A and B are shown apart, each in its own frame.
Chain A
Amino acid sequence: MDKILKIENVEKYYGNKGNVVKAIDDISFDVSRGEFVGVMGPSGSGKTTLLNIISTIDEVSSGHIYIDNKDLTEISKKEIAKFRRRNLGFIFQDFNLLDTLTIHENIALALTINRFKKTEINSNVINVARELGIEDILSKYPYEVSGGEKQRCACARALITNPKIVLADEPTGALDSKSAQILIEMISHLNKALEATILMVTHDSFTASYCDRILFIKDGKIFTELVKGQNTRKQFFNQILDVVALLGGDIRDVR
Chain B
Amino acid sequence: MYAKIAINNAKRSIKDYVIYFVTLTICVSLFYAFMSLSSSNYKLITEDSYNFQMLQKIMEYATYVITALLVLLIGYVNKYMIKRRQKEFATYILLGTPQKSVAFMFFIETLVMGIISIILGMFVGTLFSQVVTALILMTAKQQIIFSFKLYVDTVIITFVFFIAMFCIIGLFNVRALSKIKLMDMLNDEKKTEFQFKRSKVIYIITFCIAVLLYVICGYCSYKILSVEPETMFTHSNAEIYIGLGVIGFIVGTYALFYSLAYIIIAIKERWTKFKYEYTNLFLIGTIVSKIKTAPILMATIALTFIGAALSFTLTLIMAQWSLGYLDYRLPYDLVVDNNYVFRSKIQDIRDIPKIDYNDINEYLSSQDYGLENYCEIEQYFIKDNDFYKMKKTGMPKPVTAISLSDYNQLRKMLGHNDIKLKNNEFTMQWDKNIDNSEINDYINHSSTLNINGNKINISSTPYYKESIGEYIYISDINAIIVLPDELCKDLTLVKTDFYANTRENMSYNEALQLEEEYIPNWFKQNYSYIFNNYGGSRPILTRLKVSETVEILNVTLAMRILGIYLGTVLLMISLAVLALQQLLDSIEHKGRFRILKKLGIDNREINKLILKQISLYFIMPIAIAITGFLILLNIFLEIFSEQISTFLGDKALIFNIGISLLLIIIIYICYFAATYYTFKRNIGNKSSL
Binding-face segment, B429-437, B530-538, B597-605:
B597-605
Q: Is the CB of A98 within 8 A of B192?
A: no
CB distance A118 to B285 under 8 Å?
no
Task: Knowing A77-B688, A81-B601, A105-B285 are in contact, say whether A112-B278 is a contact too (CB < 8 A).
Answer: yes
**A85, A108, A121, A143: which contacts B194 (Cβ < 8 A)?**
A143
Which of chain A's residues 96-139 have a Cβ closer than 8 Å to chain B?
Answer: 96-101, 105, 108-116, 118-119, 121-122
Instruction: Say yes or no for A80: interface residue by CB 8 A criterion.
Output: yes
Residue contact B279 to A113, C-beta cutoff 8 Å = yes
A6 contacts B by Cβ under 8 Å: no
Closest CB in chain B relative to A107 CB, distance in Å: 10
Shortest C-beta distance, A196 to chain B (Å), equals: 17
A245 contacts partner chain B, Cβ-Cβ < 8 Å: no
Chain B interface, number of residues (Cβ within 8 angstroms): 34
Check: A36 CB closer than 8 A to any chain B CB.
no
Q: For residue A115, which residue of chain B has the nearest CB?
A: B278
Looking at the assembled complex, report how far the CB atom of B242 sits from the nearest CB atom of chain A, in whole angstroms.
41
Residue B232 interfacial (CB < 8 Å)? no
Q: Does A90 reach chain B (CB closer than 8 Å)? A: yes
Whether the Cβ atoms of B598 and A98 lie closer than 8 Å is no
Contacting pair A121 B278 (CB below 8 A): no
Q: Mark B178-199, 1 if CB is under 8 A from A, else 0.
A: 0000000000001110110000
Residue A82 interfacial (CB < 8 Å):
yes
Q: How far is A119 from B277 in the complex, measured between Cα atoms in Å?
A: 11
Q: Is B599 a contact of A121 with CB atoms below 8 Å?
A: no
Complex: chain A residue closest to B290, CB-CB: A100
- Chain B residues contacting A157 (CB-CB under 8 Å) are 599
B350 at the interface (CB under 8 A from A): no
Which residues of B lie under 8 Å from residue A100 when comparing CB positions? Answer: 194, 282, 285-286, 288-289, 592
In chain A, positions 136-162 with a C-beta closer than 8 Å to chain B are 141, 143-144, 157
Asked whether A101 and B282 contact (CB < 8 A) given A81-B601, A116-B276, the answer is yes
Whether the pair A96, B279 counts as a contact (CB closer than 8 A) is no
* Docked-complex contact A112 and B277, CB < 8 angstroms: yes
Given the complex, which residues of A lie within 8 Å of B280, measured CB to CB?
A: 112
Whether the Cβ atoms of A98 and B285 lie closer than 8 Å is: yes
Interfacial chain A residues near B596, Cβ < 8 Å? 113
> Chain B residue with minimal CB distance to A86?
B600
A228 within 8 A of B: no
A33 within 8 Å of B (CB atoms):
no
Instruction: Knowing A90-B598, A90-B599, A109-B281 are in contact, say whether A141-B276 is a contact too (CB < 8 A).
Output: no
The distance from the CB of B39 to the nearest CB of chain A, in whole angstroms, is: 52
Complex Cα spacing A55 to B285, Å: 27
Are B285 and A101 in contact, CB atoms less than 8 angstroms apart? Answer: yes
Question: In the complex, are the beta carbons of A143 and B190 less than 8 A apart?
Answer: yes
Q: How far is the CB of B460 from chain A (nearest CB, A)?
A: 78
**When A and B form their complex, which 9 residue pairs have the shortest distance between CB atoms, in order from nearest?**
A85-B600, A81-B602, A100-B285, A84-B600, A118-B276, A100-B289, A101-B285, A96-B595, A112-B276
A residues sitting closer than 8 Å to B (CB atoms) are: 55, 57, 77-78, 80-86, 88, 90, 92, 96-101, 105, 108-116, 118-119, 121-122, 141, 143-144, 157
